[in-house]
Amino acid sequence: MSQNVLASAAGVAVEAKRRRTFAVISHPDAGKSTMTEALALHARVIGQAGAVHGKGDRKGVVSDWMAMEQERGISVTSAALQFSYRDVVINLLDTPGHADFSEDTYRVLTAVDSAVMLLDAAKGLEPQTLKLFEVCRQRNIPVMTFINKWDRPGLDALALMDEIEQRIGLKPTPLTWPVGIAGHFRGVVDRRTGAFVRMERAPGGADLAVEEEMSADEAAERFGADWTTATEELELLEMTGADFDEAEFLAAKSTPVLFGAAVANLGVSQLLNILVELAPPPEARPTVAGDDRPVEGAFSGFVFKIQANMNRTHRDQLAFVRINSGKFERGMIVTHAGTGKPFATKYAQQIFGQGRETIDEAYPGDVVGLVNATTLGIGDTLYVGTPVKYPALPSFPPEHFAAVTAADTSTYKRFRRGIEQLDGEGVVQVLRSEQRGDGVPVFAAVGPMQFEVATHRLEAEFGVKVTLNHLPYEVAARTDEAGREILRAESNIEVMTRVRDGALLAVFPHRWRMRTVAGRHPDLRLDA
């Protein structure tokens, strides 16, 4: 191996160690987008946080850029933000919290090296948080926990620690501990140093919080009973062995815990510093062949998201590529693993919410946006040199179905173009029904809110109003041609073709009906 190649590989390894790529996950309304904004504020890449007045005033939230997100105060699509802090490059992926957008969140979690789990202090572990954590567990993703909204009334801190350990099986190891119960937040004790940091919300809440380090004597004098309670709880944590262990954290067996309030920017600087110090950098990734592609190897990456019309001026399409190995250079010719064809990367951009700028190079852990990469699909692998292919991203089984028609036949061409775009992005799964024909595609979704997003975007971006006819199906399973023929004789069942990959999906009104049919036809293939 030449000296130049060795030097290049060493340079890539150094750059990879500077990356921290993580997602923020939580139940809806736990404060994900607010936290994303607060982290960017503390890294001083924005001037003021935009989510300081709740759902009614979210125009400034850089990660919630879609009109529907700003109007309704929810995140319906994932967003990527890249910025630097303490000589570390942060790749922060904000995710939709609503269960209806589980597919988008799952795809994001394939592209990160760690996650921050946000818990509402008043609600603790909620259903969607548990589901998202299970995805992290399956992928062995290290998880940090941030107890949010400690400036409002909530649960007991020790009770929250017990809930985390009992319900998700992770050992909580608090790195900061609150002084003052939820709703009377005084500040936090840094358990690693023993220092107490008094915290006070800045006027209006849009700027950095006021922080003041105080001695134990000063804290005891000023906060009296609150300080005494906190010190007693800290002694209990020490007695129970709730101390941070890096190996256990990286093995996804324990979770560091911090306390704060993102909307008031309290405790956010501690989280950002701990992410820089403790979150893992990119490592070698497993491939379909069963080996690992080292980060210092030749370039490779995969598409985990496609989004169109982020830029209303150019109406273009962006493929989000997570770089797994090697150095990316704009203009390089890479190979599309699925087709074996070359692909030019002339139009590459760095992403910051809806904003973006041309990027000339990137390294493992970074997310690069490839503009108008219409030949790329979700899950596609790109590489240089030795061929590599990363595992495909699975689709979630849909539970809601609706036939969609254009309200005005004169808009049919735009209607078809919009349907193809939404299918390519994975906003919904698009199915072809034999009995309805090509003119009436069927939307299949994990949750009904996906229908709202799809119809909203068809009207807003393509000028097409549509009518949805909801179909009486709740269960889908993959089948084959033989299965299609068997099921033709059954009532209240359809076999449709998934447009994206040609898979045949048998749809049933409920699971009992599927089991009954399967019992009558033992040779019938039904893969849930």
Q: Name the token pair of 247.
A: 């190996």
| CA 402 remoteness from chain centre | 26
Q: Which residues pair with 144 in a beta bridge?
A: 116
Torsion, CA 364, CA 369, CA 371, CA 374, rounded to 10:
80
Name the E strands within 107-250: 114-120, 143-148, 171-174, 176-179, 187-190, 196-200, 210-214
Which residue is it, tokens 């975007």?
Answer: 457
Position 526, amino acid? L
DSSP, collapsed to helix, strand or coil, labels residue 42 as helix
Q: Name the token pair of 448.
A: 């009904």
* Nearest alpha carbon to residue 261 among 69, 105, 49: 49
**What is the rounded end-to-end Cα distance, in angstroms, of the chain?**
48
In whole angstroms, what is the distance from residue 348 CA to residue 372 CA?
A: 10
How does strand 494-498 pair with strand 429-433? Answer: antiparallel
Q: Which residues, other chains included, contact 229 with Cβ-Cβ below 8 Å and sequence gap of 6+?
A: 181
In whole angstroms, what is the distance from residue 295 CA to residue 282 CA?
A: 7
| CA 54 remoteness from chain centre | 21
Inter-helix orientation angle 412-425/449-462, to 10° = 130
Q: Phi and psi at residue 109, in whole multiples of 5°?
A: -70, -15
377: left (phi over 0), alpha (psi -120 to 50) or beta: beta
Which residue is it, tokens 């919009």?
Answer: 418
Q: Name the token pair of 86.
A: 């303490």
In this structure, are residues 376 and 336 in contact, taking their beta carbons and an 8 Å threshold?
yes
In this structure, are residues 504 and 497 in contact, taking their beta carbons and an 8 Å threshold?
yes
96 marked as part of a ligand binding site: yes
DSSP, collapsed to helix, strand or coil, labels residue 315 as coil
DSSP, collapsed to helix, strand or coil, labels residue 234 as helix
In this structure, are residues 349 and 328 in contact, taking their beta carbons and an 8 Å threshold?
no
In this structure, are residues 73 and 58 in contact, taking their beta carbons and an 8 Å threshold?
yes
256 marked as part of a ligand binding site: no
How does strand 367-371 pair with strand 317-325? Answer: antiparallel
| CA 211 remoteness from chain centre | 30
Which residue is it, tokens 């250079």?
Answer: 329
DSSP, collapsed to helix, strand or coil, labels residue 408 as coil
98 marked as part of a ligand binding site: yes
In this structure, are residues 70 and 51 in contact, taking their beta carbons and an 8 Å threshold?
no
Which residues line the annotated binding site? 94-98
Annotated binding site for GTP: 94-98
